[in-house]
Amino acid sequence: MSTSFSTGYRRYALGLFLLVNLLNYIDRQVLYAVFPLIKNSFSLSDTSLGLLGSAFMVVYMLAAPLFGWLGDKGNRVKLAAVGLGVWSLATMLAGVASGYRQLLGARSLVGIGEASFGTVAPGIIADYFPQERRGRVLSWFYLAIPVGSALGYLLGGVIGERFGWQSAFLMVGAPGLLLVIPLALLKTVTQPKPAAESSANYRLLLQNRSYVMNTLAMTAMTFAMGGMAQWMPTFLNRVHGLGVEKGNLLFGGLTVVAGIIGTLIGGWLGDYYQHRRPDGYLLVSGWGFILGIPAMLVALTATDLQTALVGMFLAELCLFLNTGPLNTVIVNVTRHDMRAMAFAANILVIHALGDAVSPALIGLLSDRFGLTRALLSTVAAILLAAVFCFICGKRIAGDLVKDDPDLGRQP
């Protein structure tokens, strides 16, 4: 039997998770805002810069399966709280790093903390709400991606240029420590015991065609979004001659506005079409990717800054349409007792083949062919994401899981 909660407590829980997730993406993205400053400080190549982002993602994805197993067997809320504390402290450690290796180690430790939180948070939130509302609810949670990312660029650019890149890490890492206890004390539904061992659950996921296709779509999307997030501020710096602060302010502002609009519209459209057809979430995401391709091409090839910024805005808006829908698909095609593992496996794959690869690969291509040509690789990835969405949409009807009717209901 699950625990029921009032509407007020559900909103409090969602708000707390949104706030923590904001800090998650601020601490993750602040690194990319200060790329040019770190490059000058340590005299690094673009490949070495890209490795800082890739190291975080490699650790993040490799730690995720362990935390997925722990999340389905133990206390998920406590696990999320520990993760928050670890990545906040690790972000502050980056601020006292005196060399490249120390900075690389601190960013790797951030990956461990964020993996602990990321594998369990969506499933916990889904427990509070019925299936027909999850697209919109998870869209609110995932607003942290554009808003937190934008704040990471904005804070990193302003603090970094005025006080040094070390101060940026110290100042954005500290607030997370204040939320560890409130998160640890959060009440959630009673979690049923797993029906099978972890290895059996992971095999079941591989046999779920909709889960696999949806994960592949998210992998291609993550490759593109990861490459854009980490290299677009530097692109504005090199190609259009903007300073670190101004470039991050512009890109951060575009990201937050496009992200809020795209994420909320995507969640609403996803729920709307999902009521009418089983592939509703995938339909919204797939067409969002298709519409984002020409906008991305304009962003990369325009010779004037204004046109390039319009292209970036439209590309990000279209890509952010997928955030709520594709994550909701994971929840809706997996059993309650294995959702942490489902998100863990998803994290492993999308980052192993996505943004753990794209930062270093784009950096390598940039060293050889220039940054503009290197970023064109993201366009091919966006097209691939659309293809996987449409393939998944043809198969999902038979894979939707009917929830326990008590989950997320009011008394």
Q: What is the extent of the structural domain holding 320? A: 7-186+197-398
CATH classification at residue 371: 1.20.1250.20
pLDDT tens string 125-136: 877 877 667 777
What's the pLDDT score for residue 411?
35
Q: Mean per-residue pLDDT for 194-206?
A: 64
In this prediction, residue 406 has a pLDDT band, given cuts at 50, 70 and 90, of very low
pLDDT tens profile 333-381: 887 777 778 888 888 888 788 877 887 788 888 888 888 899 999 999 9
Residue 2 lies in a domain: no
pLDDT digits (tens, 9 = 90+) for 271-304: 888 888 888 899 999 999 999 999 999 999 998 9
* 13: nearest Cα among 271, 136, 185, 132: 185
Rounded Cα gap, residues 223 and 229, in angstroms: 10
Q: CA-CA distance, 356 to 24, in Å (whole number)?
A: 17
pLDDT of residue 405: 42
Please tell me the predicted confidence (pLDDT) of residue 140.
85
pLDDT at 193: 53
CA 392/CA 385 separation, integer angstroms? 11
Please enumerate in sequence order all residues whose Cβ is within 8 A of that of 98, keeping only pairs 6 or more positions apart, or say none: none
User: Binning pLDDT at 50, 70 and 90, where does residue 403 land?
Assistant: low
Whole-angstrom distance, CA of residue 319 vs CA of residue 224:
9
Q: How confident is the model at residue 189 (pLDDT cuts 50, 70, 90)?
A: low
Mean pLDDT throughout 222-236?
Answer: 86
Contacts of 185 (CB under 8 A, 6+ apart): none
pLDDT at 11 over 90: no
Tell me whether residue 409 is in a domain: no
Q: Is the pLDDT of residue 142 over 80?
A: yes
Range list of β-strands (E), 230-385: none
Contact 362, 50 (CB under 8 A): yes
Q: Which residue has the tokens 């290895």?
A: 199
Q: What does the pLDDT average to over 194-212?
A: 72
Q: What is the pLDDT of residue 407?
A: 42
Convert the pLDDT of each residue in 79-102 to its tens digit. Answer: 889 999 999 999 999 988 888 889
Model confidence band, residue 200 (pLDDT cutoffs 50, 70, 90) = low
CA gap 28, 57 in Å, rounded = 10
On average, the pLDDT of the chain sits at 84
Total tally of structural domains belonging to the chain: 1
% residues pLDDT > 90 (the chain): 30
Q: What is the pLDDT of residues 16-36, one digit of tens each?
A: 999 999 999 898 888 888 888
CA angle, corner 309, sides to 306 and 312, nearest 5?
155
Task: Confirm whether 408 is domain-assigned.
Answer: no
Using DSSP's 3-state secondary structure scheme, residue 1 falls into coil
User: Looking at the domain assignment, is residue 46 inside a domain?
Assistant: yes
pLDDT of 164 higher than 50: yes
Catalogue the long-range contacts made by 311-316 (C-beta closer than 8 Å, 24 or more residues apart).
312/232, 312/251, 312/254, 313/254, 313/257, 313/258, 314/258, 315/228, 316/146, 316/228, 316/254, 316/255, 316/258, 316/259, 316/262, 316/292
Backbone φ/ψ region at 43: left (φ over 0), alpha (ψ -120 to 50), beta: left
pLDDT in tens, 233-271: 888 888 888 887 788 778 878 888 988 899 889 988 988
- Note whether residue 346 is domain-resident: yes
Give the model's confidence band at 181: pLDDT under 50 very low, under 70 low, under 90 confident, else very high.
Answer: very high
405, 407, 409, 411 alpha-carbon torsion, rounded to 10°: 100
Q: Where are the beta strands (DSSP E) in 68-203?
A: none
The verdict on residue 74 lying in a domain is yes
Residue 356 domain-assigned? Answer: yes
Per-residue pLDDT at 131: 66
As a whole number, mean pLDDT of residues 38-42 equals 86
> What distance in Å separates the CA atoms of residue 101 and residue 35, rounded to the nearest whole number?
15
380 vs 64: which has the higher pLDDT: 380
> What's the confidence (pLDDT) of residue 99?
87
Give the model's confidence band at 315: pLDDT under 50 very low, under 70 low, under 90 confident, else very high.
very high
Which one of 24-33, 51-60, 131-140, 170-179 scores highest in mean pLDDT? 170-179
pLDDT value of residue 402: 62
In the predicted model, what is the mean pLDDT of residues 112-141?
81
Residue 406 lies in a domain: no
Give the model's pLDDT for residue 299: 94
Among 5-14, 159-168, 176-185, which stretch is predicted with the lowest mean pLDDT?
5-14
- The answer to whether 169 and 98 have CB atoms below 8 angstroms apart is no
Give the C-alpha separation, 214 to 391, whole Å: 9
Nearest CA among 45, 381, 400, 24 for reference residue 221 = 381
